[in-house]
Structure 1
Amino acid sequence: MQLQNKFAQKIPRTVWVLGFVSLLTDISSEMIHSILPLFLVSVLGANVLTVGLIEGVAEATASVLKVFSGVLSDYLGHRKGLAMLGYGLSTFVKPLFAIATSPTGVLIARFGDRLGKGIRVAPRDALVADFTSPEIRGAAYGLRQSLDTIGAFLGPLAAFTLMAASGNNFRLVFWLALIPGFLAVALLTVGVREAKTSRTQESRRNPLQWQALHSLGQRYWILVVVALLFNLGNSSDAFLLLRAEQTGISAPLVPLTLVVMNIAYSLSAYPLGILSDRLGKFGLLLGGLLLYALVYLGFAFVQAPWQVWGLFALYGLHLGMSQGLLLALVANIIPANLRGTAFGFLNLAVGLALLPASLLAGGLWQTMGATATFIAGSLFALAAVLLLLTQRHKYLKDINIK
């Protein structure tokens, strides 16, 4: 506890503010997203294919825009403005969910929401790096991830509580989701300033030029390939939920498995971030990817509901060991004036992998069964681990990227 308090005092105020902005935004977004499929099907009469199309278009949009917003934040040397634009757009389109009378209306709202996410993510992640030194970046990114994840499970809980209290009034929940969204934008506006390190003459150069992309370095591009390879086996959480139900967990309890996962994630990300600053990020990141491989192997052969609950908790621990640490490791090996660009390409690689990953998982499930789906995911994770291990010397030669 004393060690954690010591690091908490070092983390800049801006990082704490960005963490609470993420928390409030996730409460707002998840209040809507957790019940949106039910709204589409039961109220607007959409079919499952339409639900999948809306989600696919929305997520693809966010993935592509993360690159351009990151590049723009490097070129202009202004990250806060883009972050405000992204968070603001995601908030101000939320009334469109409440007034939607057709799936097309929901698609427009969902597109605007993910457009906002695509604009804000890379500049926000770069802001965390701008305000922190390499010695505390693991803790800083872990803290932001922990706060973000708290919002990810408070949002659905708030939605289902309000649904029960209002007699399944979807539109009322959508309207009330505006409140934490507005609070997030207000907090970002008054609580975050632009980092001086963002305003340099170098940042006026085009970050998409070959010279700039080459200067990101081999170690960075190896991490991008590792993220792409790993996420080819990281299919939608929907398959985890289907496996939980298939194993014997009753339908009303299935969503609670994600709550367990997010609690484990939120409780582990910050302490493990602190630990990474003391012991090294590379080893913990490897451990997180290896844990994922073992968890997916567990899902392949799981036989009892109690095992499912344990696997979801371990899955959350994997997220705590990998998500923030990957960002911190990237931040420590790239030039300061290209942070937005680097985070943008990293997020693009992850986003591009998600669609084929889910298609592969669905195809294997349909033709060979659930066991094949999870074995394949485990094998992709092991391939990512092996690639990182072969390049281990590149990441341990500099003490600043421990």
Structure 2
Amino acid sequence: MMNKSQVASKKQNKAIPKNVWVLGFVSLLTDISSKIIDSLLPVFLVSTLGANLLTVGWIEGIAESTASVIKLFSGAFSDYLGKRKGLAIAGYGLSTLVKLLFALATSPMWILIARFGDRVGKGIRVAPRDALVADATDEANRGAAYGLRQSLDTIGAFIGPVVAFALMSVWEQNFRLVFWSALVPGILALALLAGGVKESNTKVAHQQSNPLNYDNLRSLGKSYWQLVAVALLFNLGNSSDAFLLLKALEIGIPASLVPLSLLVMNLTYFLSAYPVGLLSDRIGRLGLLVSGFTLYVFVYIGFAFVNIQWQLWSLFALYGLYQGLSKGLLLALVADQVPANLRGTAFGVINLAIGVALLPASILAGSLWELVSSKATFIAGSVFAFGAIILLLATTKNPQD
């Protein structure tokens, strides 16, 4: 007879389901589209539309917070319906449509509206998409599945800035023409999602009651709610990545090269996300997540004091490694701990917590940058992350231990 370790090893070799692969490639194409714009947007706002750093913080914070509020209701609605795909299509479709506004923008208000619409689309799609991955997997291969989807997503995030850099060079710094080009991969992603993803063979039970009522939320469990608290605290210091790009400008990296900083970041993210997810299926997720948060603390301290360009490139690489050590693992931990018929709600609630934090985080970052210095922005981020590590170690047990 096989012992427990042999059984676990056999389970580990299960193929990752088709839905996960397709969702990964949908994310890849969507991220190409988004990162073409995102890698240039802070520079476009400041240099072309005349926005200040506090305006950038408000735009990013409002957009991300809106998305997270919608994730709550979208996730809960997918649980109520027992279906996820339609909501995912609606979300990806809206995000693709509003990309037109970035190319047409004549003031920061246009960008706010465009970012708002894009993040609403993200809010609609993310919780059902993450729940689709959980529905198609089990605990033995869930870390690998989330890691794979994150890796494919990150290939897109890697390619997007390369495309932006190439098109900016060929089209002589024509921001608007580059923004128009971002529509193409977005449309391809929508077509792939519609034709390639199927609802889980193991149908999610239809919720007979409101998934957001007290009894259902309580049934998510103490460990889950502790994880929500950790995510909330961590993200109070995790402002928009736009401030990382602005740091690159501050130390003298040319605007045309700024998108390449995202390329470096996403290369290490891509290379680490799947191996880390695979490893978490074998040794547990908590220690790896703590390692990711700890790396974030040191990287943000590095961003505070960096003044040499090659050091900045190294920090972007390490920032990508932090993402590989944390983002997929957090999702896998959520999926491990909650009932299958409340997964959409669980992903929605934790994303709401993150979004509630992102608005004050981005406003705080922009205010500190404007009123004190860029150093203050990044030191504050590292302090919040350190607090989250303490809370995580004090309250959360690894469900696989």
The answer to whether TM tops 0.5 is yes
State the shift of 1:39 in Å.
Answer: 4.8
Asked whether 1:62 is paired with 2:67, we answer: yes
Asked whether 1:257 is paired with 2:290, we answer: no
Worse-superposed segment, 293-302 or 117-126: 293-302
Worse-superposed segment, 207-216 or 369-378: 369-378
Aligned to 1:278: 282
Aligned to 1:3: none
- Give the one of 192, 200, 216 matched to 1:212: 216
Q: Which letter does structure 2 place at the counterpart of 1:113?
A: D
Q: Which letter does structure 2 place at the counterpart of 1:269?
A: A
Q: Which letter does structure 1 place at the counterpart of 2:231?
A: A
Aligned to 2:98: 93
Higher helix fraction (1 or 2): 1
Q: Which letter does structure 2 place at the counterpart of 1:26?
A: D
Asked whether 1:156 is paired with 2:161, we answer: yes
Q: Say if 1:58 and 1:222 are closer, same or farther in 2 by CA, change over 3 A.
A: same
Aligned to 2:380: 376
- Give the one of 3, 16, 20 matched to 2:21: 16
Q: Say if 1:39 and 1:231 are closer, same or farther in 2 by CA, change over 3 A.
A: closer
State the shift of 1:26 in Å.
Answer: 1.0
Alignment of 1:3-402 (within 5 A): 10-39=15-44, 45=49, 47-48=51-52, 52-100=57-105, 104-201=109-206, 203-247=207-251, 249=253, 252-302=256-306, 304-366=308-370, 368-392=372-396, 395-396=397-398, 398-399=399-400
Q: Are the counterparts in 1 of residues 61 and 361 from structure 2 also a CA contact under 8 Å?
A: no
Q: Say if 1:283 and 1:40 are closer, same or farther in 2 by CA, change over 3 A.
A: closer
Q: Are the counterparts in 2 of residues 7 and 136 from structure 1 also a CA contact under 8 Å?
A: yes
Q: Are the counterparts in 2 of residues 233 and 381 from structure 1 also a CA contact under 8 Å?
A: yes
Q: Say if 1:26 and 1:188 are closer, same or farther in 2 by CA, change over 3 A.
A: same
Q: Are the counterparts in 2 of residues 74 and 198 from structure 1 also a CA contact under 8 Å?
A: no
Could you say which structure has the greater relative contact order, defined with CA pairs below 8 angstroms and 6 or more residues apart?
2
State the shift of 1:137 in Å.
Answer: 0.9
Q: Are the counterparts in 2 of residues 231 and 354 from structure 1 also a CA contact under 8 Å?
A: yes
Q: Say if 1:248 and 1:158 are closer, same or farther in 2 by CA, change over 3 A.
A: closer
State the shift of 1:141 in Å.
Answer: 0.7
Q: Are the counterparts in 1 of residues 66 and 355 from structure 2 also a CA contact under 8 Å?
A: no
Q: 2 CA distance for matches of 1:79 and 1:9? A: 24
State the shift of 1:77 in Å.
Answer: 0.7
State the shift of 1:157 in Å.
Answer: 1.8
State the shift of 1:374 in Å.
Answer: 2.9
Residue 205 of structure 1: SS of its match in structure 2? coil
State the shift of 1:278 in Å.
Answer: 1.0
Q: Are the counterparts in 1 of residues 12 and 140 from structure 2 also a CA contact under 8 Å?
A: no
Report Cα offsets for 1:343-380 as digits up to 9, x if no partner. Answer: 11111111111122233334444555444433332222
Q: Are the counterparts in 2 of residues 79 and 198 from structure 1 also a CA contact under 8 Å?
A: no
Q: Say if 1:160 and 1:309 are closer, same or farther in 2 by CA, change over 3 A.
A: closer
Q: Say if 1:273 and 1:200 are closer, same or farther in 2 by CA, change over 3 A.
A: same
Q: 2 CA distance for matches of 1:32 and 1:253? A: 14
Q: Say if 1:67 and 1:152 are closer, same or farther in 2 by CA, change over 3 A.
A: same
Unaligned runs of 5+ in 1: 1-5
TM-score of the aligned structures, taking structure 2 as reference length: 0.89
% identical equivalent positions: 66
Residue 134 of structure 1: SS of its match in structure 2? coil
Worse-superposed segment, 33-42 or 147-156: 33-42
CA RMSD of aligned residues (A): 2.6
Report Cα offsets for 1:11-46 as digits up to 9, x if no partner. Answer: 111101000000101111222333345555666x45
Unaligned runs of 5+ in 2: 1-10
Residue 135 of structure 1: SS of its match in structure 2? coil
State the shift of 1:85 in Å.
Answer: 0.7
Q: Which letter does structure 2 place at the counterpart of 1:163?
A: M
State the shift of 1:248 in Å.
Answer: 5.7
Worse-superposed segment, 48-57 or 12-21: 48-57
Q: 2 CA distance for matches of 1:353 and 1:41? A: 24
